[in-house]
Chain A
């Protein structure tokens, strides 16, 4: 350290350091600044006593005010729950149809259902509920097991082909590879496709119709409109779960894929399932 040095021009002492011939005047800090600085120290001390501040090995000091941000969050959450309490109770006590008929309940149920959808359903049905091959698009108006509010509720609650639930939707399409030969499968596939769109080889349609009447009409109906009791798809519409072209239909006839959906009642509870049903119904395809 160099000794005390006074700047000649201003008469102010310098900090005593010199950098490339430049010295720094040791002017005092402005008084307001110093007092503000002291005030922050006092404030910090008070803060450290009043609020949790000092880290310990496994936790931190509690602070004399006993403040906890977790506790605050808990209070806010329970206040939010309380605020929704009456609506939740109404949702619990009413049918999904009645909920949808009530403007206020409807908007609350749809919002809550949308939230649980994002947690529980998007993995299969996609974030916009548009599905993908094998996973139904919930926005459209095609329903394998029915699209009325209580039918949707039933499907969500008990699932599809979910062995652990005795009320689950259960059905089985046999693998026709062992019943029909390749030609017949090609014929019936062409017939099914022809119900909703043009096919390449029109001569297959008539024989396919016969094959259909003999093997398929039992479940899908004489008019091929399906049966929601059995979850048998309507084959005349434009929507096909596993693909709509002849190859995809033929594959489905030969060795059908039949998706499963878990039952959600045990996990989500009745109220959340009603909210989900309301949400799915409100996506735009719900039936009256």
Chain B
């Protein structure tokens, strides 16, 4: 009897057993058609540059003299040095690399806030290598239709031959990719010979094996699955877009209602949009999506659909840009015109003048829209870090002095009543040339003298230290002072290291301790 008071709602849980979607979907075969156009051309250029940099940089030589490697870019793990053209980084200077990483991060913010997911679409290694693997696939199997036909065909000798050649070519690229990586960590020509003759370190072979496997699997077999299911970046990057960021947009305010038989429909008096539903945009998409369904997680904004659509529009004699890079603001404004602020369905006539050209009221992207507080802040932060790094690099010390004061014992009473303190002095010669520096105590420490352990110099005011190129030298120095000049239990003074040849100078403030009764 209570049942009658209950309203039964027609609700179905989104994860009900009947229509539950798995978190991961198996890869569906995608056969991207070759696109051509300005974005495709840009993508070729980016691909050539990025791949060229990756494969060739380790082979650039850079003469640093006889005491340092002559590879322009070298991450020398064994000797803990990082060489980048004329810059040499010591481990304690890794802050520069950290700065570069921060710049890369802010650079991505800057690019994403202006031109959207351009990183994903053009420069991401996954995108570039998938593109390269597609080139190879197309070379051996032909374009979209031929590939689909081959895929559907029963296994034959020809199909097997083509497939084996394709996969072997992929593997060659994958091996070269893994191979290029290790050359950044050792002298490239030497390592290349060692690698081929079987004399390279195990880690070199292991690295090449792992990178070969990942390149082949990710670039050849998994492709867009990596972007959709493995990469965390699309989620972050998509969240960094705002309504003023450029993004690949299907302008349905002029495309809808789409029609395959435009003339017939127009003749019948029906409203027709510019989209002829040729599916060219879907065919070229490397992610296999339909941009006309709106913004999607999978979209890497590579803009190949723009090229494909522009090509069709051009052949139909229509204005290009049915699919275009556009901001959400512009899209909303134009959509409001086409639908009379949402009060009717899309009416292409509302965005066109009677002569068929587009209305002047339509919003268009203008370069000025890139100049807004957000981009200024990103650019400001980005260039501030860049300028700071450049300034710090230009003015950084190449001669460094560090002093550790002996703590056990803090001081020693000598037989003539003087007090002696011990110090471990570390001198860093950060240039790849040998040099001799003069180490002395600052003049203000009256009556103090030093003795270098293991050296014949005893009780001197300054001493010459020979430094090996690009090395740290540790010496033990004893400093003695007469109790009369010590006013308290401790005083500070400086060690000063000078290179007479270059005038470089480094100093370090140390403490001299004395027993209490000297007060």
Contacts and interface: CB of A to CB of B under 8 A. Distances in A.
Interface string A134-145: 000101111000
A143 B415 CA distance: 10
Interface in B397-418: 406-409, 412-417
A234 interface: yes
Given A100-B454, A103-B454, A238-B417, A130 B17 contact: no
A12 B17 contact: yes
Given A127-B408, A128-B408, A284-B453, A238 B15 contact: no
A284 B420 contact: yes
B16 interface: yes
Given A128-B409, A282-B454, A284-B420, A142 B16 contact: no
B230 interface: no
B495 interface: no
B78 interface: no
A238 B454 contact: no
Nearest to B409: A130
B414 A141 contact: yes
A139 B409 contact: yes
A251 B112 CA distance: 86
A139 B419 CA distance: 11
Contacts of A142: 414-415
Interface string A21-52: 00000000000000000000000000000000
Interface residues of B, number: 22
A100 B451 CA distance: 16
Given A128-B408, A284-B422, A284-B453, A239 B16 contact: no
B454 A11 contact: no
A10 B414 contact: no
A199 B429 CA distance: 52
Contact of B412 (A100, A126, A139, A282): A139
Given A100-B454, A128-B408, A9 B16 contact: yes
A128 B415 CA distance: 19
B218 interface: no
Contact of A238 (B18, B409, B413): B413
Interface residues of A, number: 25
Nearest to A284: B478
A200 B27 CA distance: 100
Given A9-B16, A100-B454, A238 B415 contact: yes
A139 B407 CA distance: 13
B77 interface: no
Contact of B415 (A100, A103, A141, A282): A141
A68 to B, nearest CB: 24
A238 B17 contact: no
Given A103-B454, A238-B417, A10 B412 contact: no
A10 B15 CA distance: 7
Contacts of B406: 128
A196 B414 CA distance: 12
A12 to B, nearest CB: 7
Contact of B13 (A10, A128, A139, A140): A10
A185 B149 CA distance: 119
A11 B416 contact: no
A237 interface: yes
Contacts of A237: 415-417
B409 A9 contact: no
A137 B412 contact: yes
Contacts of A127: 408
Contacts of B408: 127-128, 130
Interface of A is mostly: loop
A100 B409 CA distance: 23
A239 B413 contact: yes
A266 B116 CA distance: 80
A105 to B, nearest CB: 11
Contact of A11 (B17, B420, B451, B478): B17
Interface in A95-134: 100, 103, 106, 126-130
Contacts of B413: 137, 140, 238-239
A10 B17 contact: yes
Contacts of B409: 126, 128-130, 137, 139
Among B15, B408, B412, residue most surrounded by chain A Cβ atoms (within 10 Å): B412
Contacts of A146: none
Contacts of A137: 409, 412-413
Contacts of A282: 453-454, 476
A285 interface: yes
Given A127-B408, A128-B409, A284-B478, A140 B414 contact: yes
A140 B16 contact: no
A239 B478 contact: no
Interface in B1-46: 13, 15-18
Given A11-B18, A12-B17, A284-B478, A106 B412 contact: no
B195 to A, nearest CB: 28
A9 B454 CA distance: 84
Nearest to B474: A107
B412 A140 contact: yes
A196 B483 CA distance: 14
A142 B412 CA distance: 11
Nearest to B17: A11
A95 to B, nearest CB: 16
A137 B16 CA distance: 84
A234 B412 contact: no
A115 to B, nearest CB: 16
Contacts of A238: 413-417
A42 B354 CA distance: 76
Interface string B415-431: 11100101000000000
27 contacts: A9-B16, A10-B13, A10-B15, A11-B16, A11-B17, A103-B454, A127-B408, A128-B406, A130-B409, A130-B412, A137-B409, A139-B420, A139-B422, A140-B412, A140-B413, A140-B414, A140-B415, A141-B414, A142-B414, A196-B417, A234-B415, A237-B416, A238-B414, A238-B416, A239-B414, A282-B453, A284-B420
Given A128-B409, A139-B412, 15 more contacts: A9-B16, A11-B16, A11-B17, A130-B412, A137-B413, A139-B420, A140-B420, A141-B414, A141-B415, A142-B415, A282-B453, A282-B454, A284-B478, A285-B412, A285-B414
Q: Which 6 A-B pairs have the closest CB atoms?
A: A128-B408, A237-B415, A11-B17, A130-B409, A238-B417, A139-B412
Interface of A: 9-12, 100, 103, 106, 126-130, 137, 139-142, 196, 234, 237-239, 282, 284-285
